[in-house]
Structure 1
Amino acid sequence: MKRLLAVTLGILTAIGGFVDIGDLVASSLVGARFGFALVWMLAVGLVGICVYAEMAGRVAAVAGRPTFDLVRERLGPRIGLANLAASLLVTLLTLAAELAGVALAVELLSSVPYLLWVPAVTLLVWLVIWRVRFETMERIFGLLGLVLIVFVVAVFRLDPSWGDVLHQVTHPAVPQGEGVPTYLYYAIALFASAMTPYEVFFFSSGGIEEKWKPKDLATVRVNAFLGFPLGGLLALSIMAAAALLLHPAGVSVDHLSQVVLPTSVALGKFGLGLALIGVFAATFGASLETALSSGYTVAQYFGWRWGKTAAPRTASRFHLVVIVALLACSALILTGLDPVKVTEYSLVFAAVALPLTYLPILVVANDPEYMGEHANGRLANTLGTVYLVIVLVISVAALPLMLATKAGQ
């Protein structure tokens, strides 16, 4: 039981990274628009985040250093500051969308307009961060988010032709009527949704909060290699449900209500209710992650004392950043901006910032001065280098493709 509870950091991180409001809609949109033609990219992103999350967690356990602390040291103050600005912008955009996502889930349950729920959701997120223990927060929202497994059940209840599904997955092609640039744009969005920088910020900082040591490396690996694949499975099931139900009907996805539609068709009101609970838990967990990550990145760069477990009087600047981030993001959503579009744009900007986040992790994880006998082996270095090349290519292509396709239109 203790080992099972230890994995909840990875589960919370994975669900917050793979299944936040933007990824809920993006996975469903891709399934409805491209069928199973982009499953391969989701798999590529999943392997990448597992590789780098394990490195970041191992560095946190062995060297006692969180990710953004390494970013400043390895990139220098100026480039580190530029990375801080880019990463913080992406994290704040994502936080704004997550707060709206929680409010949208409550709207579907209550029929009260989501904008009226945004202030209450923001206050509740802050109260959880302020009053709930880190371990309790992980376990409640990480495990509750697993209710999204209802999408897996819905896929089976939709009774697909598994031979046809396998053929589409293994023989991906640009669907008729879609352009190659649009196809590549959504491929990059899926990859970035899997490897969003705040995931490793939260994962490594959470390891420091939980006081991981070299003896906890087994826990690090269980979190990385079980928690993140669980998140990937949930994202895949959302995509598959949309591909089976919405793609043949030519239905496009631009709202949360359309994302959960397959669970209603396959499982009725009970399935729909479970899906909404899972959406609430996933987006609320992502709100906690992104709010804390805002504080983590700023405090670690400037060398302030930080940590959810640190009392406000001893880490006042860290807690102030978290509060300001929540208030600013709440105000942004209250302007009426489309939360789904906000997150889709944040994924593109995240893709641009990926190399500056992952390069320092790879360098330090391979440094025997920091890691001793726990430095990267040949397999970890090979995979890390391959994925660094991939993120470099994607970071260069992301903005041109967004402009060329008018954000996937």
Structure 2
Amino acid sequence: MKRYLNVLLGVLTAIGGFVDIGDLVTNAQVGARFGLSLVWVVVLGVVGICVFAEMSGRIAAVSGRATFDLVRERLGPRMGFLNLVGSMLVTLLTFIAEIGGVALALQLVSSVNHVLLVPFVAAAIWIVLWRAKFSSIENVLGLLGLTLIGFAVALWQLGPDWGELASTLSPAEKPGAESWATYAFFGVALFGAAMTPYEVFFFSSGGVEERWTSKDIGVMRANVLIGFPLGGILSVAIAGCAAVVLMPQGIAVETLGQVGLPVAVALGKVGLAVVVLGFFAATFGAACETGLSTGYSLAQYFGFQWGKYVRTPEAAGFHVILLVMTVLAAGVLLTGVDPIMVTEISVVFSAVALPLTYFPILVVANDPDYLGEHRNGRLANLLGLVYLVVIVVAAVAAIPLIIATSMGQG
């Protein structure tokens, strides 16, 4: 029974934890401008994150070591350092965006400018990272993030013509006013938001934190193969709400409040209050995950003791990294930079860094010295190779699309 409860809890937290500030903003922007014609990218991204999260979790369960730790050992310090730099830049950008997202969520209920809230949000996140148990961070915030199901309820309540809405799923239904270059830009952004590098590093390191063994592979796979797809459905619901309410009015999503506007139309103040709680939980949880990911990556590369399962004095370097990164992220936001803009940049540059993250994972997942009989089979390798091609295409296209579309404005 305990194993079944672990599966259920893991699935629930995966659903609530899948949607972060990048998914909230990008899916709403896409829905408001392109309807559902880019939903296929969400599906592509969800399958991709499932493929590599499963590999990453299996590596942790069988070897008892985190993926990033093995990447440095297996591919050498140079490749490990390249991986570190690429993933760290994106993870830090995402960390900044998530802290800003928490501040924006609090601004919605307090009317206090988000910049004034940043120091308090950063302090709260650091205290949680320092003192809270790993399971508490994952489970409490993940479960609270389930309140984002309000978007699915709102979409149902809006009562659209489902046949007509389904017909817009085709890429051919791209609005004529939008160029194909802009369509491609947002496609890359959606793909980057779904496959953000920190997710697999956090998932792997979390498996070590929770002391997974090969007996836990089934639980891990259930968390991945059920939780992430259901989290992807939430992303589609966000886009669907924006397509039904915002797109006909020509409203572009530029604030977090506009992301929640369709829920207010469908469910009133109570529904809006519920999803604002989801905004807070999703962004706070993702801020904790990205903050921990910066500590995990640096500590694992340089060989520090790391993790919340280790007493603080014994993992002093790990906790110093968390403190420094939190202060750095807060400092950037205190300059007045728009968190939504940081979010847009982070999801696109996430696509640029994807090959540096996922190619090494595929290499390690095929190594019999680490995984023995649990190394990749034919299906996992086929999917991994197919996705590497997609990832490289997205990475190569990202920078030219940024320039050609002026970050999606063209």
Q: Which amino acid aligns with 2:137?
A: M
Match for residue 92 of structure 1? 92
2:200 aligns to what?
200
Native 8 Å contact 2:71 2:364 kept in 1 = no
| Counterpart residue number, 1:106 | 106
The aligned residue for residue 224 of structure 1 is 224
SS in structure 1 at match of 2:159: coil
Look up the match of 2:59. 59
Superposition deviation, residue 179 in structure 1:
0.9
Aligned-partner residue type, residue 153 of structure 2: V
SS at match of 2:142: helix
Secondary structure of the residue that 1:314 maps to in structure 2? helix
TM-score, scaled to structure 2: 0.96
Q: Which amino acid aligns with 1:165?
A: L
CA distance in 1, matches of 2:220, 2:80: 26
Alignment CA distance shift 1:7-1:366 (3 Å):
farther
Measure the CA separation in 2 of the matches of 1:299 and 1:197: 17
The range that moved more, 189-198 or 75-84, is 75-84
1:32 aligned residue: 32
Partner of 2:245: 245
Seen in structure 2, the aligned counterparts of structure 1 residues 233 and 197 have a Cα distance that, compared at 3 Å, is: same
* Local SS of the residue matching 2:175: coil
Counterpart of 2:234?
A: 234
Deviation track 1:314-362 (CA, whole Å, cap 9, x = no partner) reads 0111110011000100010010001111121112221111111111211
Partner residue in 1 for 2:378: 378
Identity across the alignment (%): 56
Counterpart position of 2:393:
393
**Cα distance, 1:291 vs structure 2:** 0.4
SS at 2:337 equivalent: coil
Aligned partner of 1:329 in structure 2 is 329
Structure 2 counterpart of 1:266: 266
The verdict on how the C-alpha distance between 1:172 and 1:143 changes in structure 2, with shifts beyond 3 A counting, is farther
Equivalent residue letter for 1:93: L
User: Secondary structure at 1:407's aligned position in 2?
Assistant: coil
Shift of the 198–11 alpha-carbon distance from structure 1 to 2, 3 Å rule, reads: farther
Native 8 Å contact 1:70 1:360 kept in 2 = no
Equivalent positions of 1:338-353 (< 5 A) are 338-353=338-353
- Contact 1:71/1:80 (8 A) holds in 2: yes
SS in 2 for 1:251: coil
Relative to structure 1, the CA distance from residue 169 to residue 396 in structure 2 (aligned partners, 3 Å threshold; closer, same or farther) is: same
What do residues 198-238 of structure 1 show as CA deviations (whole Å, max 9, x unaligned)? Answer: 00010000000000000001111011112211221111111
Moved more, 178-187 or 83-92: 83-92
Q: Within 5 Å, give how 1:271-286 maps onto structure 2.
A: 271-286=271-286
CA distance in 1, matches of 2:8, 2:128: 20
Contact 2:209 2:307 in 1 (8 A): yes
**Does the CA contact (< 8 Å) of 2:14 and 2:223 recur in 1?**
no
In 1: Cα distance, 2:377 partner to 2:41 partner? 26
Residues 166-205 of structure 1 correspond to what in structure 2 (within 5 A)? Answer: 166-170=166-170, 172-205=172-205
Quick one: which amino acid aligns to residue 190 of structure 1?
Answer: L
Q: Quote the Cα distance in structure 2 between the aligned partners of 1:337 and 1:184.
A: 26
After superposition, the C-alpha distances for 1:51-71 in whole angstroms (9 at most, x for unaligned) are 110010001000122121133
Instruction: Give unpaired runs (5+ residues) of structure 1.
Output: none
Mapped partners of 1:134, 1:8: distance in 2: 14
d(CA) in 2 for partners of 1:191 and 1:59?
24
Instruction: For 1:355 and 1:36, locate their aligned partners in 2 and report how far apart those are by CA, in whole Å.
Output: 27
Deviation at 1:363, TM superposition (A): 1.5
CA distance in 1 between partners of 2:273 and 2:308 (Å) = 32
Q: Distance in 1 between matches of 2:358 and 2:11?
A: 18
Preserved CA contact (<8 Å) 2:16 2:143: no
Q: Give 3-state SS (helix, strand or coil) of 1:169's partner.
A: coil
Match in the other structure for 2:143: 143
1:148–1:275 contact (8 Å) kept in structure 2: yes
Offset of residue 115 of structure 1: 1.3
Report SS of the residue matched to 2:173.
coil
Q: 1:401 Cα deviation (Å)?
A: 0.8
In 1, the alpha carbon distance for the partners of 2:211 and 2:202 equals 14
Tell me the distance in 2 between the aligned counterparts of 1:183 and 1:27: 13
Specify the SS of the correspondent of 1:260.
helix
In 1: Cα distance, 2:10 partner to 2:201 partner: 12
**AA in 2 matched with 1:169:** L
CA–CA distance in structure 2, aligned partners of residues 9 and 120 of structure 1: 29
SS at match of 1:45: helix
What number of residue pairs does the alignment pair up?
Answer: 408
Q: How does the TM-score come out when normalised to structure 1?
A: 0.97
- Native 8 Å contact 1:148 1:278 kept in 2: yes
Q: SS of the residue aligned with 2:169?
A: helix
* CA–CA distance in structure 2, aligned partners of residues 52 and 12 of structure 1: 18
Residue 76 (structure 1) aligned with residue 76 (structure 2): yes
Say yes or no: does 1:357 pair with 2:320: no
Q: Distance in 1 between matches of 2:15 and 2:384?
A: 19
What is the CA-CA distance between 1:13 and the residue it aligns to?
5.5
Q: Which residue of the partner structure matches residue 310 of structure 1?
A: 310
Which segment drifts farther, 348-357 or 40-49? 348-357
Provide Cα deviations, 1:115-145, integer angstroms capped at 9, x if missing partner. Answer: 1111111111111112211112211001110
- List alignment gaps of at least 5 residues for structure 2: none
Q: Is the 8 A contact 2:33 2:252 kept in 1?
A: yes
Q: Is the Cα contact below 8 Å between 1:141 and 1:281 reproduced in 2? A: yes
Q: Distance in 2 between matches of 1:200 and 1:128?
A: 21
